[in-house]
Structure 1
């Protein structure tokens, strides 16, 4: 089954941004630094756990599980709607390890590595290659690279699940890894969803004519999941005495096309306040009556409708006005339409038939999310943003949603508006039809566009908490561009380093990106934060540490050389001292490597070589005082460093190095 979508809450900082092709200058408001909302990556993990619980194993799931465990690879085939993509995600979730990360492979997208590139895979990674909707050209190109990808996956003890296009051809040498996924029982799927949604077992275990009729067709898993959710919502709003049969009937009715019904209602409601209330209830469905009342007033003000001069006590009360729009208020004060799922039909009507209203709705939504009202809860804000974004995406107007997110982030935007901007972009990234387009948009925003207001910080959160959940390589690249342009804050830099720390492969990719850059001061600033020797020398779960790889060594020498040659000593000395302290703490041969890399980088400084060598030696002496281990070990590292420096200069030390402070005091 396809995974469940949910609203996503991510929050972000505030400040002024000056942008262009050069630096981004940002001052971040302190009140946006922290949040009590869950990070998206935790939300995404929760969704995956729920998916595993709700999945009714399709035919072939056991065979696929055994093949993946035995070979590290499996290729899933099946008809659309059979649950093949959800099965792929669950299979990978079962092989989650601390040493690897989950990521979806996106061959052909901006700066994505080719499938045959070994750098694509790290030890223990879980890789999803979803080509279920690929055309013949994309599938043919991917098929040619699959043997090389499988080889790398096997060598690095990773796991790969490929979802192939239904009816696509497969080379003979890959046929062994193909597993046919078949649809599970529709009734079993519906009942599993109902159970997970809290519907009592005794309610849905009995045969029901509506359910039988609904499942008579072979419906996609997504449709069955949506129907189960409608039943759940019908149950929550049902009258006393109504049972499962009535809930299912209401769910079936909600699936009908209601365009003519809504159009007739709008025709009857000719007054602006009536239509405003109708729109507001559809956009804030389930919100408290106080919020509905205030939001309706704000919408009228947004469209410049003149205020009524009638005495207050002669106004219609909210209950009467709600009855006019086929809505009422529940026991807890929440306002809903009487008919199930009527809100979506109302939204679609106004969006489709009053296009001039669209920009006003974006402006109005930004005001509503900022309301200081105890009933404007995070779920209310998220629901409003998701509904506005949903209409843009439903009608294929991703550009309008992108502009709206930028506008919400302009100026000195409040925390609530920044959260709304991130939520809007998250909706787009979760939409299968628009996700690729928005990943490309975010790339161009981060790398090339002028970013006004707080939009740079919105993008930091989108990349770090949303995009990184399934596409960490793309998130890394976009955070790199943001980090090298920011000034006055280190939010992008911190997010970039945190992401690189989550995977050896990502740290390797970041070092490679830096070594291939123009090595400007912003790049070197990133390098000094990313070159922590502790993870570079860690070999947990692998046969060798990153620092022992030839490619990584070349990157480190290139970047350290630029640091030593271009930056003032005061900026790099603390990092060099940390490097040397860790050399004293670590064991051979990595300790020796750390010294060799520094000396090799300094050796390339040509006419400044002697000056840089002297600065490195001074750094080693200073590092002795704060080394975590024994002083003798630190002194030994300093002595080895001076011997390597002398050898690099073609000299032999004629005098012993100066005594350490402790030796001098004896």
Structure 2
């Protein structure tokens, strides 16, 4: 709200990177500041060392903000409040949890639902709002909306609320009591398998149950199969039923989530085995896409809730290795997307994806997944970091993966002026270092003589890159230069475009000669707009002569 309320006449609203991408000096970079920017720096989940490092440079960063008439909001880590420097305390403002009732009512009003004060003040609802996390409050409002849409408006708010609260009912105590009173190993495995694959067919639940028993080295039942209970009886014994469409589910609403919570909370010593078990279950090709998606969501929820984001990154790596089943690629993308969107662990996933993107050991399959999650998930909330990771992937990948990474990077850069400039800056540095051949290709693909050419920062980056590009073999840049000359048909672009190209020659007569010969070849072709070729080449020659100190004949003494 603080940043949204400011004027948006200049600059942009964006979040500063919360990982130290490609940086060895300052933890925050003044190059991320543009005139009028509204910046957010989220330090809520950083460790002690980064928190201290950021504070040490924050004063200088603030000076740069003032010079650009920009604004910054920093979210501080509550658990590290004792490390806050005394000179910064006067800038802090405490932010608490908003009133749950107010949040709830506003969500409802956005859906054209306006309950009375008496209905909102009902005892059951008040008790729920007093202890529920805000994400559950939002979910309750969404349930009420869905209930209204399915049951009809005539039923009224009280009915919608009653039905929705039933769906939010906490079954934790009941699950704990049920498990402690007589469930054996197989029943517990069946409980968890159904909780993970809730709504799947009986065969899917059975396969998961047997796999879990095997991974936990549970002794097999020595009795002949026909002497043991069938699945119908086993499902009945754990409070589940098979619906007419063949889906199995617990009879009590919310029971499946409570079962998952119980196992991950009270059996922490088998969490690694649960990860291995789940990874094995998803290799089964008979699972429907819907069952897979829901199961991945459930597993990710438990892994993130219990502080094990590494379980998700491990699965993503396993599911994309050479020889892995093709259908696991979508599952790998989903677990990483869920991790990236998590409030607490999102930063850890962005850091892991950076490490993968810069590693030579990352498999082609995983790189394909990273391209998807960077361009479709990370780019929504952290576009700067997505651009950095896509750039590294475009540099290091081969074949079609490289093409896909480059395409995703260029789409992202061209979607926002700030990102376009950021990529130009990165390319100018990379081209100057001559370490990555891909940077030359990327520059020639992204450099646009009609885009932000009036910006001095853009012109400087373009000039730096063209300086190195024009010293490469002519065949590698002749066609892109032709595109730049084409743009000169519009007189608004002619002078700045030609000025950049000539400045890139840096008064080097050999390079200038190559550029001029390419321009003559372009003029003789039919690619340009009729009548503009000669004028453009003449203007180019005048600028080359001026750069080399050659005066026009009529001005010579």
TM-score, with length taken from structure 1: 0.67
In 1, the alpha carbon distance for the partners of 2:367 and 2:43 equals 32
> 1:509 aligned to 2:422?
yes
Change (3 A) 1:326 1:601: same
**Aligned residue number for residue 306 of structure 2:** 395
**Aligned residue number for residue 642 of structure 1:** 541
**Aligned residue number for residue 184 of structure 2:** 269
Kept in 2: contact 1:262–1:349 (CA 8 A):
no
**Aligned residue number for residue 356 of structure 2:** 445
Kept in 2: contact 1:107–1:114 (CA 8 A):
no
Kept in 2: contact 1:553–1:597 (CA 8 A):
yes
**Aligned residue number for residue 127 of structure 1:** 39
> 1:281 aligned to 2:183?
no
2:451 aligned counterpart, secondary structure: helix
Runs of at least 5 residues in structure 1 that lack an aligned partner in the other structure: 1-60, 73-94, 538-544, 655-666
Kept in 2: contact 1:302–1:364 (CA 8 A):
no
When the two structures are aligned, how many residues end up with a matched partner? 532
In 2, the alpha carbon distance for the partners of 1:139 and 1:558 equals 31
2:185 aligned counterpart, secondary structure: coil
Report the alpha carbon displacement of residue 595 of structure 1 after superposing the two structures with TM: 1.2
In 2, the alpha carbon distance for the partners of 1:485 and 1:119 equals 25
> 1:527 aligned to 2:443?
yes
**Aligned residue number for residue 126 of structure 2:** 212
**Aligned residue number for residue 35 of structure 1:** none
2:415 aligned counterpart, secondary structure: coil
Pick from 633, 638, 647 the counterpart of residue 532 of structure 2: 633
In 1, the alpha carbon distance for the partners of 2:317 and 2:507 equals 45
Change (3 A) 1:300 1:193: farther
In 1, the alpha carbon distance for the partners of 2:195 and 2:452 equals 54
Kept in 1: contact 2:502–2:512 (CA 8 A):
no
**Aligned residue number for residue 367 of structure 1:** 283
Kept in 1: contact 2:13–2:39 (CA 8 A):
yes
Change (3 A) 1:418 1:122: farther
1:127 aligned counterpart, secondary structure: strand
**Aligned residue number for residue 505 of structure 2:** 602
Report the alpha carbon displacement of residue 187 of structure 1 after superposing the two structures with TM: 2.8
Kept in 1: contact 2:360–2:396 (CA 8 A):
no
Change (3 A) 1:336 1:101: farther
> 1:574 aligned to 2:475?
no
2:40 aligned counterpart, secondary structure: strand
**Aligned residue number for residue 457 of structure 1:** 368
1:76-111 Cα offsets, whole Å, 9 max, x none, are xxxxxxxxxxxxxxxxxxx6x9x9765322456334
In 2, the alpha carbon distance for the partners of 1:197 and 1:257 equals 34
Change (3 A) 1:585 1:262: farther
Change (3 A) 1:576 1:640: same
Report the alpha carbon displacement of residue 152 of structure 1 after superposing the two structures with TM: 5.7
In 2, the alpha carbon distance for the partners of 1:430 and 1:401 equals 13
In 1, the alpha carbon distance for the partners of 2:513 and 2:54 equals 56
**Aligned residue number for residue 620 of structure 1:** 522
Runs of at least 5 residues in structure 2 that lack an aligned partner in the other structure: none
Kept in 1: contact 2:353–2:389 (CA 8 A):
yes
Report the alpha carbon displacement of residue 454 of structure 1 after superposing the two structures with TM: 0.6
Kept in 2: contact 1:284–1:384 (CA 8 A):
yes
Report the alpha carbon displacement of residue 251 of structure 1 after superposing the two structures with TM: 6.2
Change (3 A) 1:215 1:506: closer
Pick from 458, 467, 477 the counterpart of residue 561 of structure 1: 467
Change (3 A) 1:291 1:145: farther
Change (3 A) 1:196 1:651: closer
**Aligned residue number for residue 87 of structure 1:** none
1:128 aligned counterpart, secondary structure: strand
In 2, the alpha carbon distance for the partners of 1:343 and 1:236 equals 25
1:268 aligned counterpart, secondary structure: coil
Report the alpha carbon displacement of residue 515 of structure 1 after superposing the two structures with TM: 1.8
In 2, the alpha carbon distance for the partners of 1:303 and 1:197 equals 47
**Aligned residue number for residue 393 of structure 2:** 482
Kept in 2: contact 1:326–1:337 (CA 8 A):
yes
Root-mean-square deviation (CA), in Å? Answer: 4.6
Kept in 1: contact 2:357–2:392 (CA 8 A):
yes
Q: Higher RCO, 1 or 2 (CA under 8 Å, sep at least 6)? A: 1
TM-score, with length taken from structure 2: 0.78
Kept in 1: contact 2:140–2:165 (CA 8 A):
no
Change (3 A) 1:215 1:335: same
In 2, the alpha carbon distance for the partners of 1:258 and 1:233 equals 27
1:393 aligned counterpart, secondary structure: helix
In 1, the alpha carbon distance for the partners of 2:459 and 2:103 equals 52
Report the alpha carbon displacement of residue 497 of structure 1 after superposing the two structures with TM: 1.0
2:39 aligned counterpart, secondary structure: strand
Report the alpha carbon displacement of residue 421 of structure 1 after superposing the two structures with TM: 0.7
In 2, the alpha carbon distance for the partners of 1:124 and 1:335 equals 56
Report the alpha carbon displacement of residue 363 of structure 1 after superposing the two structures with TM: 2.9
1:246-298 Cα offsets, whole Å, 9 max, x none, are 65775675164566335426x52333xx4543232111223455654565577
> 1:431 aligned to 2:342?
yes
In 2, the alpha carbon distance for the partners of 1:609 and 1:133 equals 51
In 2, the alpha carbon distance for the partners of 1:257 and 1:236 equals 32
In 1, the alpha carbon distance for the partners of 2:275 and 2:549 equals 72
Report the alpha carbon displacement of residue 150 of structure 1 after superposing the two structures with TM: 4.8
